[in-house]
Amino acid sequence: MIAVPYHLGRRAVEVGSGPLAILDSLRQRCVIIERTNGETHELAAVADVNSQLALAVAAQNAPVIVLAGNCNTCLGTLRALEQPGIVWFDAHGDFNTPETSISGALEGMSLAIATGHCHRDLMPHPVSEENVVLAATRSLDVLEEVRLHASKITLASLDALPRAVDLLAARVKTIYLHLDLDVLDPSISPGVNFSAPGGISPDQLFDAVKYVIATGKLGAVAIANFNPGRDRDKRTLRIAETLVAILSQAPRQE
């Protein structure tokens, strides 16, 4: 297990404090990523974090559990995987670019960067769009939605997910599973940034994770976007703990 306690290059603030809260509760051994440079520019800081993460993931046997702050930690993890495909659970598409983003938030561009649409220096070898499944997404910006529907990314409901995962597993060597906790109903799981009405239940997410594990191709998984400061009664923390327990039972790859 690897923890990345950073929010856009800043340590242990907002969702950057999430990995540390999960670790404190689990009391498990873990590799903790630390920055190596003092850059204050956001892109340079994110690049530094992801460089260290790529090295750490490459040193582990798959599947690797990454306790992530922002979704952009996907970039370091993907860099360390061989011929990866992506199954991405998120309330949002994270498929904005600087030109389409309403907020300008870098975390809302994570999947776009991973597939080579912007900030190419952060992802020199992007993942092909056709090898991406975006699951249970419910909140898209207008131009982001246009871009997604024009892309080759598969947008899958929970009902369509098993077939989409099966097709993906047949094409790729490894699967990167991305779990942004805001995919869950915020009335059940409040401890996230940028929550959106609606969402799936924890049991639905647990079942989907088990399905991806059953492909035998899980290379790495990220549990991202946990903000302890918003987590009433530790409800989101308990869900994250259950996810770690499920993922810890996944068969190791040599």
Whether 198 maps to a domain, the answer reads yes
Residue 204's domain comprises: 2-248
Mean pLDDT value of segment 33-61 = 94
Residue 95 has a pLDDT of 98
Whether 58 maps to a domain, the answer reads yes
Whether 253 maps to a domain, the answer reads no
* pLDDT tens-digit series, residues 124-182: 999 999 999 999 999 999 999 999 999 999 999 999 999 999 999 999 999 999 999 99
Whether 190 maps to a domain, the answer reads yes
* pLDDT tens-digit series, residues 228-242: 999 999 999 999 999
- Per-residue pLDDT for 29 more than 70? yes
Whether 222 maps to a domain, the answer reads yes
Mean pLDDT value of segment 62-76 = 96
- Per-residue pLDDT for 62 more than 90? no
String of DSSP letters for the chain = -EE--EETTEETSGGGGHHHHHHHHH----EE----S---SHHHHHHHHHHHHHHHHHTSPSSEEEE-SSGGGHHHHHHTSSSEEEEEE-SB-----TTT-SS--GGGGHHHHHTTSS-GGG-SSPPPGGGEEEES--B--HHHHHHHHHSSPEEE-TTTHHHHHHHHHHH-SEEEEEEEGGGB-TTT---SSS--S--B-HHHHHHHHHHHHHTT-EEEEEEE---GGG-GGGHHHHHHHHHHHHHHTSPP--
- Per-residue pLDDT for 252 more than 90? no
Mean pLDDT value of segment 59-87 = 96
Whether 57 maps to a domain, the answer reads yes
Whether 104 maps to a domain, the answer reads yes
* pTM greater than the 0.85 cutoff: yes
| C-alpha gyration radius of the chain | 16
- Per-residue pLDDT for 40 more than 90? no
Please provide the average confidence, as pLDDT, over all residues in the chain: 96
Residues of the chain with pLDDT > 90, as a percent, come to: 92
Whether 254 maps to a domain, the answer reads no
CA–CA distance, 9 with 2 (Å, rounded to integer): 16
Q: Residue 162 sits in a domain of what CATH number?
A: 3.40.800.10
- Per-residue pLDDT for 28 more than 60? yes
Residue 39 has a pLDDT of 80
- Per-residue pLDDT for 254 more than 80? no
Lowest mean pLDDT among 18-27, 37-46, 67-76, 219-228: 37-46
CA–CA distance, 151 with 7 (Å, rounded to integer): 28
The number of distinct structural domains making up the chain is: 1
Let me know if 149 is exposed, middle or buried by CB neighbors in 10 A (0-12, 13-18, 19+). exposed
Confidence of residue 87 (pLDDT cuts 50, 70, 90): very high
